[in-house]
Amino acid sequence: MTELAAPVITIDGPSGAGKGTVAQRVAETLGFALLDSGALYRLSALAVLRHGADPADGEAVAALAAAMQIRFEAEPGQGVRTWLDGEDVSQALRNEETAAMASKVAVLPQLRRQLLDVQRGFARAPGLVADGRDMGTVVFPDAPVKIFLTASAQVRAERRLKQLKEKGIDANLPSLLEDISQRDARDSERKTAPLKPAADAVTIDSSALNIDQVCQQVLEIAEKNGIRRGESES
């Protein structure tokens, strides 16, 4: 394994544990770059949907992913705006069709291999916070700080229900809980890069914690490992 270009904090875990928000806040606090690896799988899914490609054809999906022109732009405090081939896809990236297709193509070893170097390319001074499912196990196995952020399925379903309600979308708890349990099983049982904590990861259960408390814990763990706020290089 080659040496990391900069310190990396990996944050892995199931969907709904709060990884995205925590990764963004920690990156902002430390002045680090951010990698939302799920967005790369969602972008690949969008490319498949737009080209009408066969999601089971690993070579074809990997080729589409290799040809994607991607641009991420952080909007402090508001998230990240994302472009695919010159089009702003920030909204399309988050819809259910894209999420379902992303979970299908994420099982393809050819796609995962294709995205490996893309993901590693995000590591740059002064540091990177990488959010996903296999950041600590596969993509950045030498990262000095690895977090596995989890929460009970019940709590994640309740959080999702709240988010959907805020957006005016109708949903009910039992079916969300069922969806989440199925997705967990698919993510943790798949052969390629299954969702599991790295042997040297610290597990944080966010069921009874708010975002600030989780960020605080992550920053304390980072500090113990000698990671402090960096100055960006511009």
Residues 6+ apart with CB under 8 A from 206: 17, 18, 149, 150, 151, 155, 214
* 44 makes contact with ligand DC (CB under 6 A): no
* 134 makes contact with ligand DC (CB under 6 A): yes
Query: To the nearest whole angstrom, how small is the minimum distance from the Cβ of residue 196 to ligand DC?
Result: 12
* 15 makes contact with ligand DC (CB under 6 A): yes
Residue 218 Cα distances to 21, 24, 50, 135, 202, angstroms: 12, 12, 38, 15, 9
Across the beta sheet with 70-75, what order do the strands follow? 70-75, 79-84, 87-88
Other CB atoms within 10 Å distance of the CB of residue 162: 11
Q: What's at 62, amino acid-wise?
A: A
* 41 makes contact with ligand DC (CB under 6 A): yes
Between 88 and 232, name the residue whose CB sits nearer to ligand DC. 88
Phi, psi of 209 (to 5 degrees): -120, 150
* 122 makes contact with ligand DC (CB under 6 A): no
Total residues binding ligand DC (CB under 6 A)? 13
Phi, psi of 20 (to 5 degrees): -60, -50
Query: To the nearest whole angstrom, how small is the minimum distance from the Cβ of residue 233 to ligand DC?
Result: 26
Q: How far is CA 67 from the centre of its chain?
A: 21
Stretch that binds ligand DC, among 1-9, 49-57, 68-76, 95-103 (CB under 6 A): 95-103
Strands 202-205 and 145-150: parallel
* 42 makes contact with ligand DC (CB under 6 A): yes
Query: To the nearest whole angstrom, how small is the minimum distance from the Cβ of residue 131 to ligand DC?
Result: 7
Exactly one of 38, 55, 58, 136 binds ligand DC (CB under 6 A); which one? 38
* 37 makes contact with ligand DC (CB under 6 A): yes
Other CB atoms within 10 Å distance of the CB of residue 173: 12
* 114 makes contact with ligand DC (CB under 6 A): no
Closest listed residue to residue 141, CA positions, set 211, 102, 198: 198
Stretch that binds ligand DC, among 50-58, 97-105, 168-176, 200-208 (CB under 6 A): 97-105
Between 12 and 219, name the residue whose CB sits nearer to ligand DC. 12
Between 199 and 226, name the residue whose CB sits nearer to ligand DC. 199
* 48 makes contact with ligand DC (CB under 6 A): no
Between 24 and 37, name the residue whose CB sits nearer to ligand DC. 37
Other CB atoms within 10 Å distance of the CB of residue 94: 14
State the residues that interact with ligand DC by CB under 6 A.
Answer: 15, 37-38, 41-42, 99, 102-103, 106, 132-134, 187
